A and B are shown apart, each in its own frame.
Chain A
Amino acid sequence: DADVTQTPRNRITKTGKRIMLECSQTKGHDRMYWYRQDPGLGLRLIYYSFDVKDINKGEISDGYSVSRQAQAKFSLSLESAIPNQTALYFCATSGAHTNTGELFFGEGSRLTVL
């Protein structure tokens, strides 16, 4: 089983709908991240959380919100989806108290907004 699990893996929705992408991890990491991937733009940080009570905006947080329900769970919400939020979304984790380690990524959630 994957250490970082994202659900759903694929979702097609309509403009204006509320969407939640969920991420859970079994790595015991405190730090969790949501990234968005668009062709030619690489991965851009949406939100990140260094522990359950800590939530921080990334470079492209507008139109998104997050919830850190537990150490192992970090959800990304689109309150009212729009077509330019069509992208591949990645959740990632990293160990606490260090900026040295690599991020461990989930398998991605492909979202299409019509």
Chain B
Amino acid sequence: AQKVTQAQTEISVVEKEDVTLDCVYETRDTTYYLFWYKQPPSGELVFLIRRNSFDEQNEISGRYSWNFQKSTSSFNFTITASQVVDSAVYFCALRINSGKLIFGQGTELSVKP
């Protein structure tokens, strides 16, 4: 099965807290790509990061960091020192050899002042 699971439906934190959004995927493909998208309240989908299956290096971009572990089929996303503007729905997605992008259910993050 090709599947992405985001077990956390909703997360609520207070500003400046760190928060980690979990993503677990399933695929039979040996080559695949993982993505995170952000959907703010305005509704558009904003691309955050792409990771290929051969690159397990963690990545940091400002307050955002991603931890990719093939051994546990996980691609978790951490926001450090969260801000109110981080409030959004975050989607993890898997792109397989067929070219289709398979999304998780999304995690709604609420950052309160």
Select which of A43, A58, A108 is within 8 A of B44 by beta carbon: A108
Q: Tell me the count of chain B residues lying within 8 A, CB to CB, of chain A.
A: 24
Assess A50 versus B45: contact at CB under 8 Å? Given A100-B52, A102-B35: no
Query: Hey, what's the 0/1 contact readout for A84-97 against B, CB within 8 Å counting as 1?
Result: 00001010101000
**Least CB distance, B39 to chain A, in whole angstroms:** 8
- Of all chain B residues, the one with the shortest Cβ separation from A96 is B99
As a 0/1 sequence over residues 14 to 45 of chain A, the CB contacts with chain B under 8 angstroms (1 = contact) are: 00000000000000000101010000111111
In contact, A58 and B100 (Cβ under 8 angstroms): yes
**Cβ contact within 8 Å between B43 and A108:** yes
Tally of A interface residues using CB under 8 Å: 25
Chain B contacts of A105 at CB under 8 A? 44-45
What chain A residues lie within 8 Å of B50 (beta carbons)?
100-102
- CB of A48 within 8 A of CB of B100, answer yes
A106's closest neighbor in chain B, by CB?
B44
Contact B33–A99 (Cβ < 8 Å): yes
Query: A: which residues have CB within 8 A of B?
Result: 31, 33, 35, 40-45, 48, 50, 58, 88, 90, 92, 94, 99-105, 107-108
* 9 A-B residue pairings within 8 Å (CB atoms): A40-B9, A42-B104, A42-B106, A43-B103, A45-B100, A45-B101, A94-B99, A99-B33, A102-B50
Chain B residues packing against A (C-beta within 8 Å): 4, 6, 9, 33, 35, 43-45, 47, 50, 52, 91, 95-106
